[in-house]
Amino acid sequence: MDKILEGLVSSSHPLPLKRVIVRRVVESAETPLSQAQCRAMFALSTRLVLQGPDPFQRQVGRQVLEAYGRYHRAEFEAFFNRGLVLGLLQRGYGELSNRDPAILDYIQAGLRLIMSCPSVLELFELLQVEALRLVCERPAPPLCARLCQLLGDFPQCLPRGRKLSLAFCQQLVRSIAHFQSQGNREAELRLYVSQVTQVSGLLQSVWKAEPDTLLPSLQELFAVISAADTSFEPSVALASLVQHIPLQMITVLIRSLTTDPNVKDASMTQALCRMIDWLSWPLAQHVETWVIALLKGLAAVQKFTILIDVTLLKIELVFNRLWFPLVRPGALAVLSHMLLSFQHSPEAFHLIVPHVVGLVHSFKRDGLPSSTAFLMQLTELIHCMMYHYSGFPELYEPILEAVKDMPKPTEEKIKMILSQSAWTSQSSSLPSCLSRLSGKSETGKTGLINLGNTCYMNSVIQALFMATDFRRHVLSLNLNGCNSLMRKLQHLFAFLAHTQREAYAPRIFFEASRPPWFTPRSQQDCSEYLRFLLDRLHEEERTLKALSSAKTAESLVNEESQAQESVHKAQVFAEAACMGSEERTLIEKMFGGKLKTTICCLNCKSMSQKEEVFTDLSLAFCPPTSLENVGPKCVERSEVKDDCMVQINASATSLAGETPLNSLEVNGGCDTMNEGTIKDFSTEPNSESTTNSELHKVQDNTDVSQRLVGKNTLSVTDLLNYFLAPEILSGDNKYYCEKCASLQNAEKTMQIIEEPEYLILTLLRFSYDPKCHIRRKILDNVSLPLVLELPVKRATSPLAVVSGGWSVGVEISDIGENLAKKLKPSGADEVTCPQLVPYTLSSVVVHSGVSSESGHYYSYARNVTGSGPSGLCHQSTALSLVSPQDKLLTEESPCTVVENELDTEMPREWFLFNDSRVTFTSFQSVQKITSRFPKDTAYVLFYKRQNSTCGFNTNSANGLWVNGDPPLQKDLMDAITKDNKLYLQEQELSARTQALQAASASCSFRPNGFDDNDPPGSCGPTGGGGGGGFSTVGRLVF
């Protein structure tokens, strides 16, 4: 029968005829045959299966083998023995190599036929050994897939025992690493993917059956992808294994991997790069999940060098994967994480910028719902990056044009995405005993390191930085090549806005801006510093403008004679200086207002007027006129002077405590001696006149004071009304009237005729005690309205004005004979139009302590722009400041109004800046700070004018301002990028050092904030401090 069959299949008869005869041969298998005949049929069918020259012969061989093996099982068991199988696996069959998949096909078919025979157990033992040998020889994908199929169908052939099983899994992982596709056509690629899937599926089965093999297999996988051997590149087919790793193991595996001291940086970098390459593998699941988890794990242990290198190496490859729909979801997830976390430099983003427009157009051409959805996600990502790295319109304009019809995320959403994605915001995976070295706090704001009692500067700088329009103007200035103080302020603002550091050390700015009379490393007055700083910036800008104008004009006269040149230069400079004074400086535009002082002779009714420019108003505390409802701190006494009975409120506190102030102290025990005021009125020639004038002012405004007596809490409204109240000049402080040609009683009034963009109010809390020669602090609580309305009286007719020039501050104490004699009578009645200008509270600088020479400063602030009323402040609840001449004071308690305002406050709008620490707070905390901590009192207030028209239009040409700020100059951005990279390196070095000391380290955490028992203004460990930390990594307070 075997001869007939062999001649038939090799004959030239028609194929249908051959099939009919073959069917007859297969049917005859049921007839009894001798052992020799059976063996001959088995040998022939084996030869046809393994060496058949065409598919027909191989098919005939399989049919005959299966039929005769089934009906003659004992004979086939004897034929299909250990020797035959071992020979096939080790030597092959004739010319057929032992690495041909057909060998395994034949063995699998044979195993099916003898499954019920005892000899199959011997073959299983043989195959367990041979399977391990085969995978150690790194079989090609077809053979390996066929072996895995056989082992999947017959799991009895899998290596047994933990050692052999583990070795098999590890070697199979290495075999996958050597896989390479044999072609580039779609059919070939599909076959290759299916083969890899077959192999990875077997590994999954082994891991499920024997869980102990999983972790060693993953260790082997990491060893393969982290190898630095440049002659061997592991196959991306390894990505097929990721989907079989339980996601529950991510936390444990990533933590173990990132904290293992034996894993070198080069190995980790190599492994991460290859894992990112796995994004190219189709149908692989969870690859992006593991890649992102590893990126976050490295950020958590501050291994920023690896993250930087990998991002710059692979960002373009990840972006290019977006062109392929099969791998697009995973690629977009990794791309988003890499870009959003790489916030210290635009380098990574700019690598993909040239390719964005083409991809966007491709998505639009597709028109598929999936492409549209991905385009929306990509557009949101691109907007976030352009927002964060503004200042490159030439790069971004084509992108903006391409995505102009796509939805744009809101600024709030962009801020939230960026704040949650930075490397320095990743939660730490280190043991709890390690200090967490973090970047910016959750607020997204940067603190200022205390350089040694420099909290007075830090609090002022943060308040100025949070003055949004001022900050934007400063950042928009083109100051390249200029070494001015404004340039240094611009540099400081830029770092506060863009640095990755938790806190920045403003050493250069401090040295440049410190007043010469300020002793280094000693506490100073923040109000005095603020005045000096604004004055310096103002005068510096005027000088630079004058020099610029002089150079411009001088260039026009180069052809004049040498004899006239020197004279003309002097004239040109003088004219330029005048022109510069007429053009307002940035400080004048932002903080400058005008105050008009009018003195009216009570005899002839002639008037004298003077205008002064101010940048801040210093508000004294109102003295009461009776003993009723006076708080327990007030010590009152009466004195008779010029037949007038007055009461002096000695509401002051000193370290000694009980000594009442004498009659030289005015305004309720405060001679309005601001902490920054140099002069001492008790030693000046006109100090008595000043005192007498103040006493008459108190008498003239009895109704004002009486309305304030009995109120538990003063408000800023009260202090401003008192500041603007009229005053009688009489007695020793009479006014010299030129019209009467004699000293006369007169009435002095002050009116604000031009409001500033930012209204700075200083509460004069420090009073000078001439007896003890110390300065005491008034600890009275003052209610701070969220919105106040400032009375501004603009003149409608021209006035004869005697200019008072530039004044950095106007104090109510600046009243006396000297001032009165400077004013010239005008004799012209003025027509005024009172207008209430609404202001919104922007910042509050708080002083903590009982003395101007000690204590601590910190500030509360929020973002307030001039585009319109604040969302949490409504005009219906505004505290109005009305004309003091009309004696119309607000009847409603300020506290009541403020409580109404608090109901509409947006969460997390206010920030507490306490040196290097920045935390979220609320306006309620601002209002209650003094009641909670009696030594912590509001000192300097910043109010922003509502409905202002001088603010920046954040919808600029490129529309890409960070926090609405203008793009930075290139040199500034380069400096910030360099420092951010340095900071990440410092973080990494510190983290590695702490990791080495983890075994012996022991420390405790304190909350990143303060509770009711620990005031934010304290100089203790939770107060932001007044210490002199100089660490480049930053002072960390827990």
Cα–chain center distance at 501: 10
Query: CA-based angle 717:723:727, to the nearest 5?
Result: 135
Angle at 155 between CA 153 and CA 156, to 5 degrees: 125
Distance CA 811, CA 272 (A): 65
In this structure, are residues 718 and 788 in contact, taking their beta carbons and an 8 Å threshold? no
Tokens representing residue 512 in the block = 């440049």
Give the relative orientation of helices 393-402 and 369-388 as an angle to the nearest 10 degrees.
Answer: 160
- Which of 455, 622, 737, 1019 is an active site residue? 455
Cα–Cα distance for residue pair 240/198, rounded to 1 Å: 10
CB atoms inside a 10 Å sphere around CB 579? 14
Give the Cβ contact number of residue 640 at 10 Å. 8
Q: Please give the biggest Cα pair distance in the chain.
A: 154
Q: Which two tokens stand for residue 540?
A: 């510096």
Name the one residue in this structure whose structure tokens are 């083998």: 65
Q: Name the residue among 801, 485, 812, 488 with its Cα closest to residue 671.
A: 812
Whole-angstrom Cα distance, residue 351 to residue 349?
5
- Give the alpha-carbon dihedral of 738, 740, 743, 745, to 10 degrees: -110
End-to-end Cα, the chain, rounded Å: 92
Tokens of 483: 């070494």
Query: Are 813 and 673 in contact, with CB atoms under 8 Å apart?
Result: yes
Mark whether 856 is an active-site residue: yes
> What is the distance between the alpha carbons of residues 503 and 497, in angstroms, rounded to a whole number?
11
Contact, 587 vs 473, CB < 8 A?
A: no
Distance from C-alpha of 837 to C-alpha of 538, rounded to nearest angstrom: 25
Nearest Cα to 415, choosing from 1004, 778, 909, 939? 909
614 SS3 class: strand
89: left (phi over 0), alpha (psi -120 to 50) or beta: alpha
Catalytic residue among 498, 538, 856, 1019: 856
Provide the 8-state DSSP code for 777: E
Radius of gyration of the chain (CA): 43
Report the distance separating Cα 204 and Cα 225, nearest Å: 19
Residue 433 a catalytic site member: no
- Which residues are the active-site residues? 455, 856
